[in-house]
Structure 1
Amino acid sequence: MTALALGLLGWVSAPGVVLAQQAAPAASPSQRPELAEPKRPSVSVTLEEAITRALKTNPQVAQAAGTVTNSEAAERSAFGAYLPSLSANASGSLASSERLDPETGAVSSGSNDTYSAGLSASWDVFTGGERGANQRQTKAQSSAAEAQLTAQRATAILDVERSFYEVLRAQGLEEVARSRIERAKQNAEAAERRLSVGSATRSDVLRSRLDLTTARESLLTAQTQRTSASLALGRLIGEDGPVDAKPLDNLEPKPLALTEEALVNEIVARAPSVLSAEANLRASEAGVGAAKSAYLPRVGLSAGYNWFNDDPAFTGGRTSWSVRLGLSYPIFDGFLREERVVRARTAASVSQTQLADTRRSVSAGVGQSLSQLHLTEERITFAKQSVEVAEEDVKVQTERYRLGATTILELLTSQESLVQAQTDLVAARFDYQIARAELEALAGRPL
C-alpha cells in the first residue's frame, strides 16, 4: 500500500503531468451554467391598483375610519341633548284575594290586583352653556377625525408607493446586471481567443472571469432585493405572498402645479396634520367652556301622566298628571369644578403648543422634500449625461481592445464606469418618485 501511494504521488508530481494540468483549458464562460431564474410572483399590479387595495386592507386607515364613525355618533348625541327625553312605563301586580291584617290578625278578602301605565318627559331648559360647548367640541373632534383619516390614507399611499418603487428599482438593477453579464461574457471569450493566439496574457482571462463573477453576484443581489420588495408590497395590499409591480409609462420628472412659495403656504395651511391639530385645539377650547358651565345653575322641566286600574282593562281606572319646573345650583362640590377647569385649560394650552409645533414640522418637511426633489432632478440629469459618456467610452475601449491597442484592465474600468452610471440613473429616477410621493403625503393630495 505504501509503495502504491508513493508511486501515485510521484506520478502526480511529475513535470509533464503538472504542465498538462496547467495547460488544460477551463470551461468557456458561455458554456458555464447560468444562474437559476427565481420564481416570479403570479400577481402583478399597477400603482393605482396597489393603492386601491392597500386603502382597503390598511389597519390604520380602518381604525381612522372607525374614529370618524364614532365622532359622527358623538356629534348626533350632542345635538340630541337639546331635545327632551321621553319614557314610558307599565306594570301589573297580582296578589292573593285574602289578606291577613298583621295588627288585628283578622282575615279580609277582596281584589288586590293593580295595573298601571305612565308616560314621562323631561327637558333641560338651561345647562349653563354645557350643551353648546359639548356640541362645538364634538364637531371639532369630528373634523380632527376626518383630517386624521386623510393623513392615514396619505401615509398608507406613501408606504405603497415606496414599496412599489423599490420593486421597480430592483427590476432596473436586474437589467443593468444582465447587461453587465453579457458584456463580461463577451470580454471573457475575447480574452480567451486572444490568449490562444498569443496576443493576451493569462491575467486578461482571469480578470475577465472575475468581472463575470462580480456581474453574476450583482444580479443575485438585485434578485434578492426584488423578492424582498415584492413580499413587502404583497403585505401592504393584502396579498399572501410576493406581488410584482407593473412598469410605469413615464419615470421622468414632472413640474409641480404651483410655485414653491404657494405650495409651501398651501401645505402649511391645509396639511391633514395641521387641520387635525387645529381641530384638536378647538375641541380643547370648547372643553374649557363645558367645564365652566358647572358654575351656573341648571333649570329642568319635567312632566308625567299615569293611569291606574284594578282590572286588566283600558276602561275605567284613575289617571294623574304632574308638571315640575326645578332649579339647582351646587354651591360647593369639593373643588371638583375648579379641577375640571384647570384640566381643560391645560389641555387647551398643550393643544396650542402642538399646533405651533405641527406647523413648524410641516414647514420643515416641505422644505426638505422640495430640496430632495430638486437634488434628484439634478442627479437624473447628471446620470443621463454620465451614461451617454460611459457608453461612448465603452465603444471606444472595446474597439481598441479588439485591435490590441489597449489592455483588458482599461476596458473593464470603462465598463465598470458604465455600470455605475446606469445604476446611478436607476437610483436617481426612483429616488425622485419617492421624494415626490413624500411631498404629496404631506399635502394629503396628488401634486
Structure 2
Amino acid sequence: MKTISKLFLLVLLSAFNVSASQAQNTPQAFSLKQAVDYALQNQERLKIAQNETKIANAKIGEIRAIGLPQVNIGAEVGNNFIPQSTFLPAEIFGGPAGEFLPVEFTPKFTGSAAISASQLLFNGSYLIGLKAASTYSQLSAKQLVQTEIQTTEQVTKAYYTVLVSHARRELLDANLSRLDTLLKQTKEMHKNGFVEKLDVDRLTVTYNNLKIEQQKTDRLIELSETLLKFQMGMNQQEAITLTDKLDNVEVDMNKVNTKDFNYANRIEYAILETQRDLATLDIRNIKAGYYPSLALNARYGGNMANNLFSAVTKPDNWLSFGYVGIGLQIPVFDGLSKSYQTQQAKLRLENANHGLNLTKQSIDLQLNSSSTNLTNALQQLESQKQNMALAEDIARVAKIKFQEGVGSNLEVVNAETDLRTAQTNYYAALFDALIAKVDLDVATGTLVQK
C-alpha cells in the first residue's frame, strides 16, 4: 500500500508540473494598449520613479513637522566616583590669607529628569520651505509622467517592430509557397524534357536564398520580441503574442495639428517651468533668512543630589523646576553670506529661463523635423506600395509566360528577386512611417494624454 501511495503521489506531482509548464508556455496576448498598460505596471524604471514621487511627498511631511510641537523627555542618574573639588580661600576656615583649600560640594549621586517642548511661532524660511516642498512634489510627479511617456514611446516602437517583422514573415511564407510550387512544376517539366536543368538550378538557388531570408526573419522576430518584453518589464522566459494588426494602425497627417501647439503639452517644458519656480523660491528663502524667528519654549523637570543611591527612588529628594518663555532671534550680520547666496540663486534662475528658451527652440525644431519626416515617410510608403504591387504583377506574368513556354526561367528568377526587394523596401518604409508617427506624437505631446 505504501508503494502504491508513493506511485500515486509521483503521478500526481508529474501531472501538476506538466500542467504548470503548459500554463507557463501559453503565450500571453497583448494589444498595443495592453502592452503599454502592462509596462506602466511592471517596468522597473517606473517603479523607481513612483518611489521618487512617494519620497517627495514624504519630504513635505518632514518639512511640515518642523512647524509642529517638538517634545523631548530626558533623564539621567550618575555616580560621581571622583567628585569635583572647588577651591575656596583658606581664611574662611581660619587658615592663612592668600591660600586656597580644595572643598568638595558635589554629592556622590546626582540625577535629573525633564520634559521640554518648543513650538515654532514664526520663521520666514519655514513658510517658504513648505511652498518649495509642495513645488518639489509637483516636479517629482511630472518626472513620473516623463518616465511614463518614455516607456510608452519605447513599448510602442518595439511593438511596431514585432508587427512589421511578423507581417514580413507571412509574406515570405507566401513567396516561399509560391516558389516551391513553381520549383516542383519546373522539375516535372525538366523530367519531361521541356526545360533545361539550368532552369531548375536557378529556381533552386532562389528558393534556398528565400529560405535563408525566412530563417533570418525568424531570428529577427525573436530578437524584437525579446526587446518588447524588456521594454514592458516582462519575464524573458514567458511567451508573447500580439493581437493588433498593421491594417488597423492609422498612419496619416490628417489628424496632426501643430498650429495650436502649446509648449506646456511637452512634459520636458513643464518640468523646466517647475524647476524655474523652485529657483524663484530659493531666492525668497534666502531673503527670508533676514527675518527674525520666534519660538515658544517650555521645560519641566526635577533634580536630586545625595550621597545615598537609595535617595534616587524617594520623591521627596527631588526638587522640581519649570520654565516657559519666548525666544526671539534677529539676524544682524552674517559676513555677507546670504548676499552671495542670493547672487548664486539669481544666476540659477536666469539659467532656468535660458533653459526654457532653449527648450522652446528645440521643440520647434523637433516639431518641424518630425512633421517633415512623417510626410516623407508616407510618400515613400505610398511609392513602395505601388512598386510592390507592380513587382507582384510582373512576377505573376513572368511565371505564366514561363509555364506556357513563351518566357525564360531567368526572367522568372529576376522577377522574384525584384519582388523580394520591393517587399523589403515596402516594409522598411512602413516601419519608418510608424516610427515617424510616434516621434511626431512625442513632439506634439500627444503620445500620452494626461
TM-score when normalising by structure 1: 0.77
- Are the equivalent residues in 1 in contact too, given 2:86–2:103 (CA < 8 A)? no
Q: Which residue of 1 aligns with 2:59?
A: 74
Q: Which residue of 2 aligns with 1:348?
A: 349
Q: Which residue of 1 aligns with 2:46?
A: 61
SS of 2:289's equivalent in the other structure is: helix
- Are the equivalent residues in 1 in contact too, given 2:85–2:105 (CA < 8 A)? no
For 1:3-35, what per-residue CA distance to the aligned partner results, in whole angstroms no more than 9, with x for missing partners?
A: xxxxxxxxxxxxxxxxxxxxxxxxxxxxxxxxx
For 1:236-269, what per-residue CA distance to the aligned partner results, in whole angstroms no more than 9, with x for missing partners?
A: 323134744324144331668965135x614x21
SS of 1:362's equivalent in the other structure is: helix
Runs of 5+ consecutive residues of structure 2 not aligned to the other structure: 1-24, 88-92, 94-100, 305-310
Q: Which residue of 1 aligns with 2:12?
A: none
CA distance, structure 1, for counterparts of residue 293 and residue 367 of structure 2 = 50
TM-score when normalising by structure 2: 0.76
Q: Which residue of 2 aligns with 1:323?
A: 324
Once structures 1 and 2 are overlaid, which stretch shifts more, 165-174 or 364-373? Answer: 364-373
Which residue among 280, 285, 289 is the counterpart of 2:280?
A: 285
- Are the equivalent residues in 2 in contact too, given 1:277–1:354 (CA < 8 A)? yes
* Change beyond 3 A, Cα 1:101–1:209: closer
- Provide the aligned length of Structure 1 versus Structure 2: 403
* Change beyond 3 A, Cα 1:293–1:110: closer
SS of 1:305's equivalent in the other structure is: strand
* Change beyond 3 A, Cα 1:314–1:354: farther
CA distance, structure 1, for counterparts of residue 204 and residue 79 of structure 2 = 104
SS of 2:214's equivalent in the other structure is: helix
Which residue among 242, 248, 264 is the counterpart of 1:251?
A: 248
* Change beyond 3 A, Cα 1:171–1:118: same
Using the aligned pairs only, state the percent identity: 18
- Are the equivalent residues in 2 in contact too, given 1:234–1:241 (CA < 8 A)? no
Q: Which residue of 2 aligns with 1:142?
A: 137
The Cα of 1:179 is off from its aligned counterpart by: 2.1
The amino acid across from 2:53 in the alignment is V
* Change beyond 3 A, Cα 1:241–1:288: same
For 1:136-157, what per-residue CA distance to the aligned partner results, in whole angstroms no more than 9, with x for missing partners?
A: 3222221111111111111122
The amino acid across from 2:250 in the alignment is P
CA distance, structure 2, for counterparts of residue 327 and residue 107 of structure 1 = 40
- Are the equivalent residues in 1 in contact too, given 2:64–2:130 (CA < 8 A)? yes
- Are the equivalent residues in 1 in contact too, given 2:135–2:278 (CA < 8 A)? yes
- Are the equivalent residues in 2 in contact too, given 1:274–1:358 (CA < 8 A)? yes
* Change beyond 3 A, Cα 1:60–1:258: same
Q: Which residue of 2 aligns with 1:359?
A: 360
Equivalences for residues 32-111 of structure 1 within 5 A: 43-46=27-30, 47-93=32-78
Q: Which residue of 1 aligns with 2:257?
A: 260
Once structures 1 and 2 are overlaid, which stretch shifts more, 309-318 or 423-432? Answer: 309-318
The amino acid across from 1:251 in the alignment is N
- Are the equivalent residues in 2 in contact too, given 1:130–1:293 (CA < 8 A)? yes
Across the aligned residues of Structure 1 and Structure 2, the Cα RMSD in angstroms comes to 3.6
The Cα of 1:115 is off from its aligned counterpart by: 5.2
Q: Which residue of 1 aligns with 2:289?
A: 294
Which residue among 175, 182, 185 is the counterpart of 1:180?
A: 175
